């Protein structure tokens, strides 16, 4: 390896290892605030800080070395019991973590430390020398701005930095074996083309199987536990709790639920926004909670689970909840609905209005202050990856934001259908059954209902959505002529689909073969078409669209 290549490799390892050490320090500092007497935890934090300092020294980053050395000295005082692990001390050390991350980002972007000044925080660290009193220590930490949000504004590690996936040699060997088998299949196919054309189909099938196996293996390596994102929210909740004067406990479950890293990164900011809303606006103050018979400690809960190839993530709190009457009043005021429409809407429908841009305005009624701000951005980010947001709440009992997202958006096993002259994919995880009716079976199994159609499958009636009408921009209400045309059709093909909101039939012109679609995001000009989540290039060069089953319902 040449000199420049070796230097780049060393820098990459420095960035990765030092950021890992900073992440561990941050997580342990948050634990230390709750366990100030845990001596072993202090020793662990010291060791990781020593690693970070040593890495900076090895790479010749003197300013970063000086900053981490100052933090190491403070941790040494903690180890020796000269200062206590009070909130102010932990806040100052967390600020060191933030500034060290910023310094590393600067080095990565500019290749040097020039322009980075740590003199203020070094002075704050120097104030906490062994002879300083506890009062001086607290004052020094407060002077550092420790009680405010972190310098980065978000708290926690910035996951975008971790663009590398580390693989064990065992996994690399498995990948090489797959590539080797794929190469062997290609050689077999080439031999068949030249000498035994009758064996081409067999060779193609073998190559396809091995290609799919390789794709599956790569997809598995792209999956990562959702807990990797949630770890950063402990810092966010801690800083918000300090800033708002509230006592907050963050609970997580399903941390090991795996999601494609691209999907996870796409909604990471949305999850952070929901957590901020829960702490800042959802939870009451301690005295207010006690007046209503609640524990003074508010709870924010993150939960994830996998169901039928879909990932469900919930962000919930046990706070004041969302007042549906207040939502209705605000919606009427913003002219999003009429009073008559609002009176006919159930709570779930009213809460969906919070996701509209009309609620992202400065003027907010007290009962829902902040609950609508930016939620349209959350909805847009989730729907961009083919997901959906549901809001559940009971006044006085808290609120739950439930996100449903695909586990991966790279390759989606899909049922291909044709309608309105185009080809569309339906994720197979939503397909319950395929049914075709011909001749008299059409009228026997289709039932008109007002201006819509129901389809009877195995004795049960389901709503029928017409894909060609959806693509033509029509609404759910069918004119009499269209209704008659459907009932008189010589044949109708129906895919019975399961969505979060229920089961329904999708009428298409033709049902084609299944396919593994390599999905690309929709062009921004098509983002308003929420019933589609991505595109794929078919073998003949045409473009197919992946359907959003939940939006179709």
Gap between the Cα atoms of 65 and 94, Å rounded: 16
Q: 480: pLDDT confidence band, cut at 50, 70 and 90?
A: low
Q: 371: pLDDT confidence band, cut at 50, 70 and 90?
A: very low
Whether pLDDT at 372 is above 50: no
Q: What integer pLDDT is reported at residue 158 of this predicted model?
A: 36
| Averaged pLDDT for residues 384-401 | 88
Whether pLDDT at 255 is above 80: yes
Which token pair is 351?
Answer: 């809460």
Cβ neighbours for 49, distance < 8 A, ≥ 6 positions apart: 21, 25, 68, 71, 72, 75
Closest by CA position to 162, among listed 81, 229, 250: 229
Q: 528: pLDDT confidence band, cut at 50, 70 and 90?
A: low
Q: What integer pLDDT is reported at residue 147 of this predicted model?
A: 37
Which token pair is 41?
Answer: 């935890």
pTM of the model: 0.65
Which token pair is 384?
Answer: 């961009």
Q: What integer pLDDT is reported at residue 138 of this predicted model?
A: 41
Q: What integer pLDDT is reported at residue 367 of this predicted model?
A: 37
Residue 360 phi, psi (nearest 5): -90, 60
193: left (phi over 0), alpha (psi -120 to 50) or beta: alpha
Q: What integer pLDDT is reported at residue 113 of this predicted model?
A: 83
Q: 1: pLDDT confidence band, cut at 50, 70 and 90?
A: low
Cβ neighbours for 468, distance < 8 A, ≥ 6 positions apart: 419, 420, 507, 508, 509
Q: 485: pLDDT confidence band, cut at 50, 70 and 90?
A: confident
Strand, coil or helix: what is 528? coil
Which token pair is 366?
Answer: 């007290």
Q: What integer pLDDT is reported at residue 133 of this predicted model?
A: 38
Whether pLDDT at 111 is above 90: no
Q: What integer pLDDT is reported at residue 525 of this predicted model?
A: 66
| Averaged pLDDT for residues 381-395 | 84
H or E segment and range at residue 305:
strand 297-307
Cβ neighbours for 75, distance < 8 A, ≥ 6 positions apart: 42, 45, 46, 49, 93
Q: 364: pLDDT confidence band, cut at 50, 70 and 90?
A: very low
Q: What integer pLDDT is reported at residue 87 of this predicted model?
A: 82
Whether pLDDT at 2 is above 60: no
Closest by CA position to 323, among listed 400, 402, 401, 394: 394
Which token pair is 97?
Answer: 């973590």
Closest by CA position to 377, among listed 463, 475, 272: 272
Strand, coil or helix: what is 494? strand
Q: 477: pLDDT confidence band, cut at 50, 70 and 90?
A: low
Q: What integer pLDDT is reported at residue 288 of this predicted model?
A: 92
| Averaged pLDDT for residues 189-209 | 85
- CB count within 10 Å of CB 311 equals 24
Q: What integer pLDDT is reported at residue 254 of this predicted model?
A: 93
Q: 479: pLDDT confidence band, cut at 50, 70 and 90?
A: low
Gap between the Cα atoms of 405 and 388, Å rounded: 7
Residue 300 phi, psi (nearest 5): -115, 130
| Averaged pLDDT for residues 64-85 | 88
| Averaged pLDDT for residues 334-361 | 81
Q: What integer pLDDT is reported at residue 88 of this predicted model?
A: 85
Q: What angle do CA 90, 240, 32 make, to 5 degrees?
A: 25
List the beta strands (DSSP E) in 164-288: 223-225, 247-253, 258-260
pLDDT tens digits, residue range 26-69?
999 998 988 888 888 999 999 999 989 988 888 889 889 989 99
| Averaged pLDDT for residues 376-384 | 83
Q: What integer pLDDT is reported at residue 291 of this predicted model?
A: 92
| Averaged pLDDT for residues 205-212 | 83
Report the chain's C-alpha Rg in angstroms.
29
Alpha helix stretches (DSSP H) within 84-168 = 87-110, 119-126, 134-143
Of 18-32, 197-211, 352-366, the one with minimum mean pLDDT is: 352-366
Gap between the Cα atoms of 307 and 405, Å rounded: 10
Q: 363: pLDDT confidence band, cut at 50, 70 and 90?
A: very low
Q: Which residues of 33-67 are buried (b: 16+ CB within 10 A; e: fewer)?
A: beeeeeeebbebbbebbbbbbebbeebebebbbbb
pLDDT tens digits, residue range 223-244?
888 988 888 899 889 989 988 8
Q: What integer pLDDT is reported at residue 132 of this predicted model?
A: 42
* SS3 per-residue string spanning 381-399: HHHHCCCEEEEEEECCCEE
Gap between the Cα atoms of 527 and 509, Å rounded: 25
Gap between the Cα atoms of 105 and 533, Å rounded: 33
- Mean of all residue pLDDT scores within the chain: 81
Q: What integer pLDDT is reported at residue 478 of this predicted model?
A: 67
SS3 content of the chain, % helix, strand, coil (to 5): 50, 25, 25
pLDDT tens digits, residue range 113-168?
876 778 888 888 877 754 443 443 343 333 343 333 333 334 333 334 445 667 77
- CB count within 10 Å of CB 220 equals 11
Q: What integer pLDDT is reported at residue 358 of this predicted model?
A: 58
Residues facing 424 on adjacent strands:
417, 545
pLDDT tens digits, residue range 284-327?
999 999 999 999 999 999 999 987 667 899 999 999 999 888 88
Q: What integer pLDDT is reported at residue 361 of this predicted model?
A: 33
Gap between the Cα atoms of 482 and 164, Å rounded: 54
Q: What percentage of the chain has pLDDT greater than the value 70? A: 84
């Amino acid at each position: 390896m040449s000199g420049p290549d070796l230097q780049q490799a060393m820098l990459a390892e420095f960035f990765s290892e030092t950021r890992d050490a900073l992440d561990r320090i941050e997580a342990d500092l948050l634990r230390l605030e709750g366990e100030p007497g845990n001596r072993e935890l202090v020793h662990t934090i010291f060791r990781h800080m020593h690693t970070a300092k040593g890495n900076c020294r090895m790479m010749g980053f003197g300013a970063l070395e000086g900053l981490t050395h100052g933090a190491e000295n403070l941790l040494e005082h903690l180890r020796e019991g000269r200062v206590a692990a009070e909130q102010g001390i932990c806040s100052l050390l967390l600020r060191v973590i933030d500034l060290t991350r910023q310094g590393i980002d600067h080095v990565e972007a500019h290749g040097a430390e020039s322009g980075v000044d740590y003199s203020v925080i070094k002075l704050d660290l120097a104030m906490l020398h062994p002879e300083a009193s506890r009062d001086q220590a607290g004052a020094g930490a407060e002077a550092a701005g420790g009680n405010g949000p972190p310098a980065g504004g978000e708290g926690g590690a910035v996951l975008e930095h971790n663009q590398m996936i580390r693989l064990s040699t065992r996994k690399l060997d498995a990948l090489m074996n797959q590539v080797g088998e794929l190469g062997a299949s290609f050689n077999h196919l080439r031999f068949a083309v030249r000498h035994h054309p009758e064996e081409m189909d067999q060779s193609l099938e073998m190559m396809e199987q091995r290609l799919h196996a390789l794709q599956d293996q790569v997809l598995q390596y792209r999956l990562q536990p959702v807990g990797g994102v949630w770890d950063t929210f402990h810092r966010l909740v801690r800083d918000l709790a300090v800033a708002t004067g509230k006592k907050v406990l963050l609970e997580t479950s399903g941390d090991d639920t795996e999601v494609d890293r691209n999907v996870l990164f796409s909604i990471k900011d949305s999850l952070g926004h929901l957590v901020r809303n829960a702490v800042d606006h959802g939870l009451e103050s301690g005295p207010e909670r006690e007046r209503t018979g609640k524990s003074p400690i508010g709870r924010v809960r993150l939960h994830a689970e996998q169901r039928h190839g879909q990932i469900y993530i919930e962000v919930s709190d046990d706070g004041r909840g969302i007042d549906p009457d207040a939502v209705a009043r605000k919606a009427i005021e913003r002219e999003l609905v009429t009073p008559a429409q609002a009176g006919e809407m159930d709570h779930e429908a009213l809460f969906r209005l919070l996701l509209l841009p009309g609620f992202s305005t400065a003027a907010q009624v007290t009962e829902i202050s902040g609950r609508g701000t930016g939620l349209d951005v959350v909805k847009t980010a989730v729907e961009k990856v083919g997901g959906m947001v549901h809001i559940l709440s009971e006044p006085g009992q808290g609120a739950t934001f439930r996100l449903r997202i695909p586990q991966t958006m790279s390759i989606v096993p899909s049922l291909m259908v044709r309608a309105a002259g185009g080809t569309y994919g339906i994720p197979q995880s939503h397909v319950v059954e395929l049914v075709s009716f011909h001749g008299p079976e059409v009228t026997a199994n289709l039932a008109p209902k007002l201006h819509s159609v129901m389809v009877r499958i195995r004795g049960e009636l389901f709503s029928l959505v017409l894909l060609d009408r959806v693509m033509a921009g029509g609404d759910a209400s069918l004119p009499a002529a269209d209704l008659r045309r459907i009932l008189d059709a010589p044949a109708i093909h129906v895919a019975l689909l399961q969505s979060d909101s229920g089961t329904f039939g999708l009428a298409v012109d033709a049902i084609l073969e299944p396919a593994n679609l390599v999905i690309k995001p929709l062009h921004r000009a098509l983002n308003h078409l929420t019933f589609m989540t991505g595109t794929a290039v078919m073998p003949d060069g045409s473009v197919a669209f992946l359907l959003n089953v939940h939006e179709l319902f």
